[in-house]
Structure 1
Amino acid sequence: MIFRRRNRVGKAGLLIPYPSRNILRRSRPRSVRRVWRVPALALHLLIAFPLSWWYYGRGRGVNPRALRVFRWWCGLALRILGIRLRVAGGIPKNAAVMIAGNHVSYLDILALAALYPGQFVAKKEMQEWPLFGRLARRLGTFFIDRGDARASQRVLKDAAEVLRAGRILVIFPEGTTSDGNSVGEFFAAPFETAVAAASPVVPVTLRYEDILRPGHADRSCPFVGEDTLAGHLWRLTASAPLTLRVEFGPPLAPSLGRRELARESHRTIVETLRRMEEGAPVTYLDPTRHRLRDAWEAWRHRSQSR
């Protein structure tokens, strides 16, 4: 399930419904959220493994039906964790493109798969993650050993077949995660995959924000430093609902070459992050307002001004 709403645009900017009327639910991290989030997430993970085996583990390979199931699973996982997507832009339907994004957390994978399911290129260390590593392998993830250049080239060459087959390939060219406020240097090598397959590259910017304060980065989602998977998930299960802003940039032609593709993708994402940081033109609608009362007050105001 993708969390989109039809919103109105007013003079103050984008008008969207207030996240919740329950102040306790949206104020700050609270352990009480773990009462339902932990068992719900555990059950959701258990569902993932028989589904991944049924669609991927029997030699069928990746197929559209499997991608739709993966999309549903990722969207529901985000909902359990209280993460709402706010999306700008997109990619053409059924387009074979490489998506290149800044990397903040493993949650980036869930978000992009919930929007445009495809196959991912990840670091080799992810294979050792409990549960998630095995699930990633079954979902056709390509793992790169950054310490072995030749092996990485072979993996990227295999990944080009995904684009040639008309599917989506997702990369995080920083090679590591950041705090969401800055973007590390992009490696050019992964972009050779798009050049070899003659597929366009679509830069995508991801930023986790406080749901009540657009433009203010969330501190609980970045997976950096000494964070462990278990510790990070435990922190998220208590966190308040938040917004993940996802903005897709214009596609870049593969004829630019891998180095220019890396530079242009990096520049686009940095500029988009800067624009997001300056503050989003968002005004939350007050849920306590009532249409009849507003109409009555407007009529009284007009009557008094005559």
Structure 2
Amino acid sequence: MRAWLVLLPVVAITLIGIPLQWLSVALQLPTRRTIPVLYHRILLALIGVRVTVVGAPAEVRPLMILSNHVSWLDIPVLGSRLPLCFVAKSEVSRWPGIGLLAKLQRTIFVDRASRTATGKVAGEMAARMNGGDAVVLFAEGTSSDGNRVLPFRSALVGAARQAVGSEAGAAIQPLAIAYVGQGGISLGRARRPLVAWYGDMDLAPHLMTVLRRGAIDVELHFGSVVEPGERKKATQAAAQSVRLMLATALTGRPR
């Protein structure tokens, strides 16, 4: 019953927001950045997701945020904090409903099967960053169970930094997303996959489970901007920072 009581107002808010955001994007209005933030905040309040921020998004621009990826919830959690653009696989654009919302969020889609995709996506990322938007790249390339950080991929990182045009390239800020509790109880390693969405999990059942349970506590840990340098070294430095921040968040102890 709770899932449906949450889903109905979510649908109502979405139907109101879609034409407003479509008009904002079409006319390039400033509200194209602020409407998604407000929408995600309302969405999280309805679902029952509490976000704690440790550190702060860097103010420097152009900015690329390299983050781990745990669940579809990552999108509203991050989207509720600041105006930004996401990079997602092209399949997402074809998902019913979600594809439309992703496009209105001004998501940059990458076709992994195309050999020329990296250059095209890098150009789009650079255009957004040069325009003042922070771009979030889930550098693992997939989602995990939330207990670990998978290896970061550096191809898009290097290409996008080169495409920016400035001598130093875009600044890179590490970000760790940690789902730490549900219903006031620590999730722990065994229960964290109740919130994480990864592997071959079906989206609809997982979505309804999250709506039914609610009361999720998530922490966002923003790290220091990594030193500019060769793409692989910069990506590895960001990945190491994310691992340390995630370990701190999940254990409650600094590493």
Q: Deviations over 1:31-72 (max 9, x none)?
A: x4224212112212222321221211x3x23x4322111100
1:272 aligns to what?
245
Once the 2 structures are TM-superposed, how far is the Cα of residue 139 of structure 1 from its aligned partner? 2.7
1:111 aligns with 2:77: yes
CA deviations over 1:210-254 (Å, ceiling 9, x no partner): 14245735332211122222222111111140101100000123x
Tell me, in whole angstroms, the C-alpha distance in 2 between the residues paired with 1:187 and 1:219.
23
Question: Which amino acid in 1 is paired with 2:222?
Answer: F
Q: What's the offset of the Cα at 1:92?
A: 3.7
CA distance in 2, matches of 1:104, 1:268: 17
Q: Does 1:47 align with 2:16?
A: yes
Structure 1 stretches lacking a partner, 5+ long: 1-31, 282-306
Which of the residues 158, 168, 175 maps onto 1:204? 175
Cα contact 1:105–1:221 (8 A) shared by 2: yes
Distance between the aligned counterparts of 1:203 and 1:149, measured in 2? 27
> Aligned-pair distance for 1:138?
2.8
Residues 71/240 of structure 1: CA separation in 2 closer, same or farther (3 Å cut): closer
TM-score (norm 2): 0.89
Query: Is residue 195–residue 258 contact of structure 1 (8 Å, CA) maintained in 2?
Result: no
Sequence identity (%): 27
Matches within 5 A, 1:1-306: 32-56=1-25, 58=26, 60-61=27-28, 63-93=29-59, 95-192=61-158, 193-197=160-164, 198-211=169-182, 212-214=184-186, 216=188, 218-253=192-227, 255-279=228-252
Q: Which amino acid aligns with 1:54?
A: L
CA contact (8 A) 1:210 1:242 kept: yes
Q: Using the TM superposition, name which of 221-230 and 91-100 deviates more.
A: 91-100
**Which stretches in structure 2 are left out of the alignment for 5+ residues?**
none
Runs of 4+ in 1 over 6 A off after TM superposition: none
Instruction: Give the superposition deviation at 1:94.
Output: 6.8
Letter in 2 for 1:235: T
Q: TM-score, normalised by structure 1?
A: 0.75
Size of the aligned set, in residue pairs, is: 246
Q: Distance in 1 between matches of 2:113 and 2:23?
A: 34
Distance 2:78 2:23 in 1: 22
Whether the 8 Å CA contact 1:118–1:169 is kept in 2: the answer is yes
Deviation, structure 1 residue 182: 0.9
Partner of 2:188: helix, strand, or coil? Answer: coil
Q: State the shift of 1:101 in Å.
A: 0.4
For the 8 Å contact 1:103–1:172, the answer to whether it is kept is yes
Residue type at the aligned position of 2:16: I
| Structure 1 residues 88 and 108, CA gap change in structure 2 (3 angstroms) | same
